Structure 1
């Protein structure tokens, strides 16, 4: 397994970059979705912070793109144009920061269930990503689509299978799965299989998307980790805990040690 630490890019996080690199982990830079989208200046401020991080960190880097309202095949052509412009901006950020991966939410909304638009969503997004993925591939950037309020991984899996491009895969957010899906995490991993390339790891107790430190909520991580090793050992685990850096680093150290031990015991380590 490979590992990443999700970070917003504030200056107080800079002193921890050296240890993250020593642990062999990468970083995933975010906050374009909630902070950066509020104004042009906020977007540029976020990019400036992330450039400072990148100047001090030469390891693997991912970007978590904006997600509020990001429906790539939106039925409203004016809103669709705005979404595509925001995606253009995200592409520009990823290239400037030399990211190898960009995480984007699937864009699936509960309205698709309410108005029975599942097939329309699948067709529209398949056509979109069949066109869109090429510029990311040309730039050497993998796209992984993340579940949000999705009740099942099936439409995401169908979408990626239909696009059938080695630069488009899936991200499983276990906190979102725990909150919004009646299918257990093991079944999500099994259904995603070798299309599952990225994990967002954090905890909650199903009362909110809390992004707690590991073990604070009610997620069964032991069985989840076993499923990952069995069905998706290629996935990168990105720790998306919203807490102080000391807490986040403690979780990262424990996580890396745990998987190193498990991989040795089953003969997966190199």
Structure 2
């Protein structure tokens, strides 16, 4: 990239309002975190949507939401569970449509157990693909209609290529790839996965979204950038070599952690 990339943030609506000046400056990419909770999706959330619309007025940055993920295995065997997944996903995509949101994060179904056993059981890989396609084909179709890109985030993925193949199997521009740096670092430190920058490289031009969080390679820390052991120079070098322009979303916990992360990246000469 000729210019340093501009990072955005994953925030609750209340945090977005509090950080209005930071987010509107440079129109940083936004991911609202208020709509993945099953209790929210089973309530009358119209007032929350109206508040979000008002807060987004005048905002020119790309914005999306974190989609539902609690207890929603996207390669489920169970048709009843698939019905629940569709209910949750369709409601969330309706919120995207109402807000004009253009991305929604969903979680990879590929577990460490799958990775360790995929060569042991006959047709295990094919089975994961078939179940994922059966679950997600209607969701992807709805995302196409809404104009929202679903981004498939690594969770317990060890093989950084498997998720990319899984998304590509539905042959839709509405299903692309997300990399969560902390999840990748956990998989690297605990499970023997490649380092974080390899996850970026494996996604290639399909990478449309990155959750930036620091960690120690032991747990899902969501520390401010610079507080853990991720090699950010390598990560941003890999991002800079992409043909795509992924949303770079700081997803961290703690007061002023977003601001501290931005400052860290600025001082390191990696991003704005």
The answer to whether TM tops 0.5 is: yes
Matched, 1:158 2:165: yes
SS in 1 for 2:208: strand
Contact 1:3 1:256 in 2 (8 A): no
SS in 2 for 1:198: strand
Contact 2:76 2:135 in 1 (8 A): no
Alpha-carbon separation, structure 1, partners of 2:128 and 2:207: 21
Please, which moves more after superposition, 207-216 or 66-75? Answer: 66-75
Please, which moves more after superposition, 170-179 or 16-25? Answer: 16-25
Alpha-carbon separation, structure 2, partners of 1:115 and 1:48: 46
Matches within 5 A, 1:108-127: 108-113=110-115, 116=118, 117-127=124-134
Q: Deviations over 1:219-243 (max 9, x none)?
A: 1111111111123552221111112
Contact 1:32 1:64 in 2 (8 A): yes
Which runs of 5 or more residues in structure 2 are unaligned?
119-123
Normalized against structure 1, the TM-score is what? 0.84
Contact 2:8 2:30 in 1 (8 A): yes
Normalized against structure 2, the TM-score is what? 0.83
SS in 1 for 2:241: helix
Matches within 5 A, 1:1-270: 1-10=5-14, 13-33=16-36, 36-38=37-39, 40-41=42-43, 47=49, 50-55=52-57, 57-113=59-115, 116=118, 117-181=124-188, 182-231=193-242, 234-244=245-255, 246-255=256-265, 258-259=269-270
Which runs of 5 or more residues in structure 1 are unaligned?
262-270
Q: Deviations over 1:79-124 (max 9, x none)?
A: 1111111111111111111101111112333453466443311222
Greater helix share, 1 or 2?
A: 1
Alpha-carbon separation, structure 1, partners of 2:235 and 2:112: 26
Change in 2 beyond 3 A, CA 1:51/1:58 = same
Please, which moves more after superposition, 207-216 or 157-166? Answer: 157-166
Counting matched residue pairs gives 257
Contact 1:71 1:108 in 2 (8 A): no
Alpha-carbon separation, structure 2, partners of 1:81 and 1:115: 27
Q: Deviations over 1:198-257 (max 9, x none)?
A: 11001111232110001111111111111111235522211111121x331232255367
Alpha-carbon separation, structure 2, partners of 1:208 and 1:37: 24
How far is 1:52 from its partner?
4.8
